[in-house]
Structure 1
Amino acid sequence: MSERQSVTVDVVSDVVCPWCYVGQKRLESAIAGLADIDVTVNWRPFQLDPTVPPEGTDRRQYMLAKFGSEERIRQIHQRIEPLGEAEGISFAFDAIKVAPNTLDAHRLIRWAASGAPDAQNRLVKRVFALYFEEGGNIGDHAVLVQAAREAGMDAAVVEAMLATDADREAVETEVATASSMGITGVPCFLLDSRYAVMGAQETETLADAIRQVAAEKGKASLGQSSTP
């Protein structure tokens, strides 16, 4: 009987990236189909635009400045909406009024990693849904505290920590490290810190990549166990 393998997936993402939300759903589906592999998911920070002010900015004006026209923005949204629908996402881009700075959201996600099992995954899913499906301002501390509460975190502790600079430098360093590794777009899935899968790949592509890493680990383990 072959030894059960485990694979760690570090997902480098930004919570204002719609492709990252699609990627989260596809990864979740991929893992659900890998009953014979233990998959641990860690969420790592990336900021598509760290220059957004802490209080955020008007999203419509921000998008116009970035893409040039309402028509171009519509084309972008129309391209991703059906892909989201296929994954159970109801993108509500018109409901999003604020383009937030995501540093505080990433601090919160970092703290969730030390909480209850799966707390980080629950939090990430809730923050994505808040922003893309409900138009929530995920740069607002009150919104983040509520998301933390819904993910099973201690809301009072989160509220107190958000009011400080706790882990701000650590998150900024992680973002800089991702950039120094050559990551310029997200999502990026790092498998066992050895292989990278770029972009919101199809569910089966992610599943295959995880299977391949698990199989390689199995062969390596078998080779070690047979060594005199």
Structure 2
Amino acid sequence: MSKPTAITVDVVSDVVCPWCFIGQKRLDKAIAAAGDVEVHVRWRPFQLDPTIPPQGKDRRDYMLGKFGSEERIREIHARIEPLGDVEGINFAFDAIKVAPNTLDAHRLIRWAGAMSEEVQNRLVRRLFQINFEEGGNLGDHAVLIEAAREAGMDVSVVEALLPSDADVEAVQNEIATASRMGITGVPCFLLEGKYAVMGAQDAATLTDAIRQIAQAKANGVLENAG
């Protein structure tokens, strides 16, 4: 029996993006459906709003400033919540009190990835849950440290690194690279480093993309493309 073709999917996302949480769930389904392809997932940083201060902002005030009215905010949430239900996400938007700056969360995700793909995936899933289902503040170091512990990271290392500026520049450079590549919204699924699927596409679309790229790689045509 031949070995499955392996491909890498880089997911450019922000942990406070509800569409990215939906996209994560759909990617899981897509990978399961493309069982004949070995898919390796790496999470890449993006900040929807890097101007938020380190201490965060009151989410209600922030959302009002961004969307203009409570009615508009309710409309946005009402559009997203049923999609979350389908994917097994219990969006609890009213529980979210702080709009955080996510730079430190992305640093943590980077360190998790240095440990293993499995640890990084566990951490990203947990951060999505904390923010969207539990209303936790992802700018709070105590929250991030607990998430790291739950994901299987070395908490003593995380506790030492978070207050420092370790990898701040590296994460910001990755975000800048995504911008130069033309990524202006998330999620973005980058297959084999060059083929982009934009937005929280349905699982079938992602499965098709995974299979097509895997087949092209198996046939040796990716090296000649792009």
> Match for residue 74 of structure 2?
74
Separation (CA, whole Å) in 1 of partners of 2:134 and 2:171: 26
The Cα of 1:3 is off from its aligned counterpart by 4.8
2:111 paired residue number: 111
Q: Which amino acid aligns with 1:34?
A: A
Q: Which residue of 2 aligns with 1:213?
A: 213
Counting only pairs closer than 5 Å after superposition, residues 162-173 of structure 1 correspond to structure 2 as: 162-173=162-173
Aligned in 2, Cα 1:8/1:116: closer, same or farther, shift over 3 Å?
A: closer
Q: SS at the partner of 1:164?
A: coil
In the other structure, the counterpart of 1:199 is: 199
Aligned equivalents of 1:77 and 1:177: distance in 2? Answer: 30
Q: Kindly indicate whether the alpha-carbon contact (under 8 Å) linking 1:3 and 1:218 is maintained by their aligned counterparts in 2.
A: no
The alpha-carbon deviation at position 4 of structure 1 amounts to 2.0
- Counterpart for residue 25 of structure 1: 25
Cα distance in 2 for partners of 1:190, 1:68 equals 33
Deviation by residue 1:108-138 (Cα, 9 ceiling, x = unmatched): 0000001144000000000000000000000
CA contact (8 A) 2:27 2:206 kept: yes
Which residue number in structure 2 is paired with residue 84 of structure 1?
84
Partners of 1:174 and 1:205 in 2: CA distance: 26
Bigger CA radius of gyration: 1
The answer to whether the 8 Å contact 2:188/2:198 transfers is yes
2:37: which partner in 1?
Answer: 37
Letter in 2 for 1:37: V
The amino acid of 1:8's aligned partner reads T
Counterpart amino acid of residue 197 in structure 1 = V
* Residue in structure 1 matched with residue 224 of structure 2 by the alignment: none
Q: What is the DSSP-based 3-state SS (H/G/I as helix, E as strand, rest coil) of the residue aligned with 1:118? A: helix
Contact 2:40/2:117 (<8 A) preserved: no
Aligned to 1:148: 148
CA distance in 2, matches of 1:21, 1:150: 18
Taking structure 2 as the reference length, the TM-score comes to 0.96
Distance, in Å, in 2 between the alignment partners of 1:87 and 1:117 is 22
Q: 1:159 to 1:12 in 2, by over 3 A?
A: same
CA distance, structure 2, for counterparts of residue 160 and residue 130 of structure 1: 22
Q: Which runs of 5 or more structure 2 residues have no equivalent in the other structure?
A: 222-226
CA distance in 2 between partners of 1:76 and 1:200 (Å) = 16
Does residue 137 (structure 1) correspond to residue 131 (structure 2)? The answer is no
Identity of aligned residues (%): 71
User: Partner letter of residue 207 of structure 2?
Assistant: A
Would the alpha carbon gap of residues 114 and 97 (structure 1) be closer, same or farther in structure 2, given more than 3 Å must change? Answer: same
Q: Is the 8 A contact 1:100 1:138 kept in 2?
A: yes
Distance 2:3 2:9 in 1: 19
Deviations 1:70-112 (A, max 9, x none): 0000000000000001000000000000000000000000000
Q: CA–CA distance in 1 between the matches of 2:143 and 2:117? A: 22
**Structure 2: how far apart are the matches of 1:167 and 1:38?**
30
SS at match of 1:114: helix
Range with bigger deviation, 28-37 or 182-191: 28-37
Give the secondary structure class of the aligned counterpart of 1:220: coil
Q: How many residues align?
A: 221
Contact preservation (8 Å) 2:64, 2:70: yes
Q: Which sits farther off after the overlay, 3-12 or 131-140?
A: 3-12
Q: Which position in structure 2 is the counterpart of 1:14? A: 14
Which residues of 2 match residues 176-187 of structure 1 at below 5 A?
176-187=176-187
